[in-house]
Chain A
Amino acid sequence: MALNLEDYFLPASLQEASTLLQRYGDGAMVVAGGTFVHGLEVRGLLTETVALVDISRLGLRGISESGNGGVSLQALTTLAEVGAAPLISRNPAFGSIGDALQYPPRQILNVGTVGGCVAAAAPLYDLPAAFLALDGQVQASLAARQRAIPLNDFFVGLFESALQRGEIITAIELPAPAARSASAFLKLETNANDLSILNVAVRLTLDKDGKCADSRVILGGGVGETYVRATSAEAALRGQTAGEASFAAAAAAVVDDFEAVEDHRASAAYRRHIAQVYVRRTLGTALARLG
């Protein structure tokens, strides 16, 4: 696989980075933690890439509260930093984030970034599924323009996002969770160095009677080109008492929400089976987190 890389840039400002991306267009790739550059190369996915734009000098690191209990994760915050943040770990609503961080290989926790795993725009990553369950949005910058893109609209296709040429993710924002919300995440993998075969992130919001006021059920892994929001499963939960019966109904419904991939890693039938088991299990975990 001949590698055609010719240039490597380390811009000092967002402006400079955007300019480079605009100049090279499809020939440029943004690198933050750089944990999957090799993975792309050996699969022949970098043959068109002539320039790497390394944004690791841009700062963009840190986690802060953004009004009413929402959280803003700057794009270059590492996976380890997210895992260590009390703002995340103390809030059961963000439980899915802590769960998702149990899976990436230890070797990349200190370099892999929040923005990177979202920008990759492949449903094989863990953290974006958790962010989707929390109705997160992307902050993106292009020259002087800053705009918010809901994650629901962000993932367009495999390796295709809503980012425009030159646009760079600066933060992931999670809105303040409603009261009595909890989330959870599970991933099926073969070993600890694996992209998701199938993953499930859920968020459960209960009303004062313990009924399910709102929920998100997100599927990733071998479910198609993008993450899938399992609306049938969510519908099965709506208004129901949170518990075994409604969770089983949601699990049964989830098979209608996606076309399971059939490949050498798992059969479609197994993926459908696991989706059901994991929907039930993640909902159970989320409910337990509400005490």
Chain B
Amino acid sequence: MSLIGKSPERPDAFDKVTGGKAFPVNVKVPGMLHAKLLRSPYPHARILSIDTSAAEKLAGVKAVLVPSEVPKRKFTPVYFVPANAGSMVQDMLIMSDTVRFAGQPVAAVAATSLRIAEQAIELIEVEYEELPTVFDPEEAMQPGAPQLHDHATNNVAVNPVMGFGDLDKGFAEADHIFEGVYSSHRVHTCYMEPRVCIVDCDRQGNFTVHSSTQHLFGLREKLAFALEIPESKVRVIKSPYIGGGFGGKLDMGYIEPIAALLSRKTGRPVRIEQTRHEDFITTARHPIKVYLKTGVKKDGTFTARHAKSILDTGAHATHGAEVINVHGVFGLLMTYRCPNSKWEGYTVYTNNMIGGGYRGYGSPQACFAAESQIDEICEQLQLDPIEFRRKNAWHAGEPHPMVQGLTLDSYAFDECLQSGAERFGWSKRKKADSGKGTKKRGMGFACQPLWVSGCIGFPDIYEHSGAIIKLNPDGTADLATATMDIGSGQITTLCQIAAAEIGLPMEAVHMVQNSDTTTVPVDAPTHASRATYSSGNAVQAAARTVRERLLMVAGIMLDISPDQLSVVDGKILVKGAPKRSLSVAEVVTRAESPFVQHGANGPAPTTLEEKGTIIGVSSLAPKANPSPVSVEFVEVEVDTETGVVQVLRVVYAHDLGKLIHRNGAEGQVEGGFQQGMGYALMENLQFDPVSGSCLAADFLDYKMPTAVEMPRDIQSIFIESNEPSGPFGAKSLSEPCITVPAPAIANAIYNAIGVRIRELPITPEKILAALGKL
């Protein structure tokens, strides 16, 4: 246990700070071709003809692919659901002759060099028939709007409606009713490594795939489905690292199936690497407009809540069909106790780019609406916002509000509120707009009261993890799992959990670097704040088997019952007889030694029971889905002449069950704040309003906070409520870190200057306009 909660050095740290070769973007395969996609300049069009003859004649061009050549089975590219999941929408083709967003691939070329491929796509002649466009989801829902898909009347892809209680009665019982419209925009996860893949098809039609992905098995399943081949024909290699994901690599892109088809055509490996501009139009957080109506008693008790959410999913439903549910349930319907609630979601097709996964998965949009409105209610009714939340909160021991049969075993909302408020100095908050001078300071906070540790209990979502741990004769352990480290430290925490459970020093556990879908158990993606909890449980289970086997062999060697033994820091200790200890290396060596050993007294047999690799294998789903809780306090300074907002300091309190790796956890909080602050204040993926083309070429156009804009003071408080179903008591951390900053900042801005901005991002211009200065 001594390792848990410490900050052992990340095993990947040295490799990464010295340049890290082990990313998919570094992979080179002998004989590989380079492919480039030709993308449509129009947001809505029908392809009338494609002439590839000039491109095919260019020296070095090995294959050209056009929509008529791709399989006709429609699919959803989302990794964590079955390909034919009923709750999702199968509306995509690898390439279609109908273009629904600017940038959709319409042809591809594989050539001996990237430069030739780039020249070749410019030689392809495409004749388009332009179609009427719609970019606003509420316009798209109107009768008569351009229709994107035959199956979706008024462009509504899915329309979940949920609720309980009696809404009319609830509003009738309310002393006050508040209504507001809160809208959010499109932002990109800004993973560092571009989406990239190499696909190699052999002569038997077996595909070997390298890809910067958050999910090996999801890519295997979706690629096989789209290509209409058995899953065993696809082998996805686990890259030791990927350069970030944040949910932005949770679906198969266009590049993997296109590379696969080009490889099958040419018999050579085909590599596609997206430019940053292509990455920008590949995945983004969905803009969601939330109409929120809330009834409260004088004392702040909720009596009724009604929300309507309109999500712009772009050209295809993909993640939009699931994001809407997570948004509604975990952001609006179930966050607080309210007896009469209703939520309606609309996932709407438009001619915008396709939305994707992004850390928080619908919750930041909801949290901004809900936590902003609570602040408005408290301001108007003169209620204490901390007490307000306490009054409406869930409590430990209550049934899980969403997943039947589960209980909120660990749930420390109160402690988060209290310790955060104390550390921050919340009691020093002044009345709104009470500062003097041009620069005004304000304090605010926001909460994420309910979230997930993985996806147990949710329809259609995979939730499995597995691990293989085997010991080596030198006393080290190899840990193999399909769980991807997407930059957030899974290699470290999983090695740490294995080391702590077996009783090895941290540096004795190594993550296997070259496993693939044929060698490790099935796993869900690294997403949904699940890896530490779910994969951690699987690793712990495999480690427990390893320890039991280790003690069994040691017991035979020492002629003592295993229950008299323990493993500590690589040594087998005998209760009450420390001098009889053995090293793990000695035990493993013995287990793998020849059956008969020649010793000082001549040949002597060992026993059959102790023979063989000391190995532990697990493949399981976790028992529960514990909810973390988070509260974030921020102080801002607003320049009332320029509208520029500076975040001065942050205190973040989070119930994570049990801290596994302190530095890693703080990194999650700080990284989440950077993304959340960017979402609140500056990040915005912008498009030309007429052509629908993305205006961002690179990070000069797409603005995210750099180290310079980050507050110098970010403090993390980790509340350890000890989750009984988690590894060493742990549950999740990641996503609430990105969810709470936007409403916390919005509330602090209100406190500073007395104006409420309900539309993200809160730009300097919006602030000046709200102040009546523009």
Contact B703–A42 (Cβ < 8 Å): no
Task: List B contacts of A213 (CB < 8 A).
Answer: none
Q: Does B705 contact A (CB under 8 A)?
A: yes
Q: Would you call B700 and A193 a contact (CB within 8 A)?
A: yes
Closest beta carbon of chain B to A250's beta carbon, Å: 16
A270-B765 in contact (CB<8A): yes
Q: A191-B682, A193-B699, A193-B700 are in contact. Are A266 and B765 (CB under 8 A)?
A: yes
Contact assessment for A273 and B698 in the assembled complex, using a CB-CB cutoff below 8 Å: no
Interface string of B111-122 (1 = CB under 8 A from A): 000010011001
A68 sits at the interface (CB 8 A)? no
Q: Does B115 lie within 8 Å of A2, measured CB to CB?
A: yes
**Count of interface residues, chain B, beta-carbon cutoff 8 Å:** 28
How many angstroms from the CA of A270 to the CA of B768 in the assembled complex? 9
Among residues of A, the one whose C-beta sits closest to the C-beta of B277 is A42
Contact in complex: A42, B115 (CB < 8 Å): no
Q: Are B704 and A191 in contact (CB under 8 A)?
A: yes
**Are A190's CB and B703's CB within 8 A?**
yes
Q: How far is the CB of B333 from chain A (nearest CB, A)?
A: 35
- Chain A residues 46-72 with CB under 8 Å of chain B are none
Q: Which residues of A in the span 192-241 have a Cβ within 8 Å of any Cβ on B? A: 192-195
Interface residues as binary, B702-741 with A (CB distance below 8 Å gives 1, 0 otherwise): 0111111100000000000000000000000000000000
Contact A191 B706 (CB under 8 A): yes
Tell me the chain A residues, 1-44 only, with Cβ under 8 Å from chain B.
1-3, 38-39, 42-43
Q: Which residues of A from 105 to 121 have beta carbons under 8 Å from B?
A: 105
Q: Chain B nearest CB: distance from A248 CB in Å?
A: 12
A264 in contact with B695 (CB, 8 Å): yes
Q: Could you tell me the distance between the alpha carbons of A80 and B706 in the complex, rounded to whole angstroms?
A: 20
Interface majority SS (helix, strand, loop, mixed), chain A: loop
With A188-B642, A191-B705 as contacts: A270 and B764 at CB distance below 8 Å: yes
Q: Is B507 at the interface (CB under 8 A from chain A)?
A: no
Contacting residues, chain A, for B265 (C-beta < 8 A): none
A233 to chain B, nearest CB (A): 17
Given A1-B118, A2-B119, A195-B700, are A190 and B682 neighbors across the interface (CB < 8 Å)? yes
Quote the shortest CB–CB distance from A43 to chain B (angstroms). Answer: 6
What DSSP secondary structure best describes chain B's contact surface? loop
B708→A191 contact, CB < 8 A: yes
- Say how far B200's CB is from chain A's closest CB, in angstroms: 26
A285 CB to nearest B CB, Å: 14
Inter-chain contacts of B704 with A (CB < 8 A): 191
CA distance A42 to B765 in the complex (A): 28
Q: Which residues of A contact B703 (CB under 8 A)?
A: 190-191, 194
B276 within 8 A of A: yes
Give Cα A151–Cα B774 distance, bound, in whole angstroms.
34
**Which of chain A's residues 257-283 have a Cβ closer than 8 Å to chain B?**
264, 266-267, 269-270, 273-274, 277
- Given the complex of chains A and B, what is the CA–CA distance between A191 and B704 in angstroms? 7
Complex: how many Å from CA A275 to CA B705? 24
Q: In B372-420, which residues have CB < 8 Å from any A CB?
A: none
Closest residue to A192 on the B side, CB-wise?
B708
Residue of A nearest to B764 (CB): A270
Interface string of B272-283 (1 = CB under 8 A from A): 000111000000
Chain A residues, Cβ within 8 Å of B707: 192
- Residues from chain B with a CB closer than 8 A to the CB of A105 are 706
Given contacts A2-B122, A42-B697, contact A264 B706 (CB under 8 A): no
Q: Is the CB of B773 within 8 A of A273?
A: yes
Residues of chain B lying within 8 A (CB to CB) of residue A188: 642
Asked if B474 lies at the interface with its beta carbon under 8 angstroms from chain A, I say: no
Beta-carbon contact of B706 and A192 below 8 Å: yes
Report chain B residues within 8 Å CB of A269: 774
Query: In the complex, what distance in Å separates the CA atom of A39 from the CA atom of B699?
Result: 9
CB distance from A4 to the nearest CB of B (A): 9
C-alpha spacing A193/B682, complex, angstroms: 13
**Smallest distance from the beta carbon of A170 to chain B beta carbons, Å?**
29
**Contact residues of A with B, CB < 8 Å?**
1-3, 38-39, 42-43, 105, 188, 190-195, 264, 266-267, 269-270, 273-274, 277
List 19 contacting pairs A-B, 8 Å CB cutoff, sorted by A. Answer: A2-B115, A2-B122, A3-B115, A42-B275, A42-B276, A42-B697, A190-B703, A191-B682, A191-B703, A191-B705, A191-B706, A192-B706, A192-B709, A193-B699, A193-B700, A194-B700, A195-B700, A267-B765, A270-B765
